[in-house]
Structure 1
Amino acid sequence: MLFISPSKAVSMPDYIWLSPDEIAKLPVSGKAWQNIKNNADKPLSSPNLSNQDDMTNVYVLAKALVYVRLQDEKYREQVIDACMQAIGTEQAGTTLAFGRELSSYIIAAQLVGLPDDKKSLFDAWLSQALNKELSGRTLKSTHEDRPNNWGTHAGASRIALAIYFKDHEELTASAAVFKGWLGDRNSYSDFKYRDTKWWQANPKKPVGINPKGSKKRGHSIDGVLPDEQRRGGNFAWPPEKENYVYEGLQGALAQAVMLKRAGYNSFAWSDNALLRAFTWLHEQANFPAEGDDTWQPHIINYEYGTQFPAPTPAKPGKAIGWTDWTHSTEQNN
Structure 2
Amino acid sequence: MLHVLCLKNRRQPGLIILSAIIAAAASCPAQIGIWTSAAELAKIPMSGPAWEAVLLGASQNCSNPDVVNQDDDTNVYVLAAAIVYARTDDERYKNKVVAACDKLVAKGNPGGLTLAWGRETGAYAMAADLVGYRTPAFETWLRNMAEVYKDEEKRTLIKTFKTRANNWGSHAFGSLCAIYRYLGDKTALAAIRDYWIKGVTGPNPGFKFGKDLSWHVNEDDLRLFNPKGATKKGANIDGVIPDDMRRGGSFQTPPGYTNYAWGFMQGQIMAARILERAGLPIWAAGDSALYRAAWCLQIRFEKQYGNWAARGDDEWMMPFLDKAYGTKWSGQQKNLWKHGKNAGWGYVTLSK
Q: Same fold (TM over 0.5)?
A: yes
Cα pair distance change 1:102/1:255, threshold 3 Å: same
Contact 2:76–2:343, Cα closer than 8 Å, also in 1 = yes
Cα pair distance change 1:252/1:90, threshold 3 Å: farther
> How is 1:254-269 mapped onto 2 (pairs within 5 angstroms)?
254-269=270-285
Contact 2:311–2:333, Cα closer than 8 Å, also in 1 = no
Amino acid at match of 1:18: T
Q: Which residue of 2 aligns with 1:220?
A: 236
Gaps of 5+ in 1: 1-6
Cα pair distance change 1:161/1:13, threshold 3 Å: farther
Q: Which residue of 2 aligns with 1:230?
A: 246
Aligned-partner Cα distance in 2 for 1:50–1:43: 17
- Equivalent position to 1:314, from 334, 337, 347: 337
Amino acid at match of 2:102: M
Contact 2:313–2:338, Cα closer than 8 Å, also in 1 = yes
Deviates more, 1:199-208 or 1:10-19: 10-19
Amino acid at match of 1:227: D
Q: Which residue of 1 aligns with 2:195?
A: 177
Aligned-partner Cα distance in 1 for 2:317–2:32: 24
Q: Which residue of 2 aligns with 1:270?
A: 286
Q: SS of 1:327's equivalent?
A: helix
TM, length-normalised to structure 1: 0.90
> How is 1:181-200 mapped onto 2 (pairs within 5 angstroms)?
181=199, 183-186=200-203, 189-200=205-216
Amino acid at match of 2:64: S
Q: Do structure 1's residue 133 and structure 2's residue 150 form an aligned pair? A: yes
> How is 1:98-137 mapped onto 2 (pairs within 5 angstroms)?
98-114=117-133, 119-131=135-147, 132-135=149-152, 136-137=154-155
> How is 1:43-192 mapped onto 2 (pairs within 5 angstroms)?
43-87=61-105, 88=107, 91-114=110-133, 119-131=135-147, 132-135=149-152, 136-181=154-199, 183-186=200-203, 189-192=205-208
Aligned-partner Cα distance in 2 for 1:168–1:9: 15
Aligned-partner Cα distance in 1 for 2:31–2:143: 19
Deviates more, 1:232-241 or 1:286-295: 232-241
Aligned-partner Cα distance in 2 for 1:208–1:217: 20
Identity among equivalent pairs (%): 38
Aligned-partner Cα distance in 2 for 1:37–1:14: 23
Task: Report how far residue 213 of structure 1 moved.
Answer: 0.3
Q: Which residue of 2 aligns with 1:3?
A: none
Aligned-partner Cα distance in 2 for 1:185–1:94: 28
RMSD: 2.0
Gaps of 5+ in 2: 1-24, 303-307
Q: Which residue of 1 aligns with 2:221?
A: 205
Amino acid at match of 2:44: L
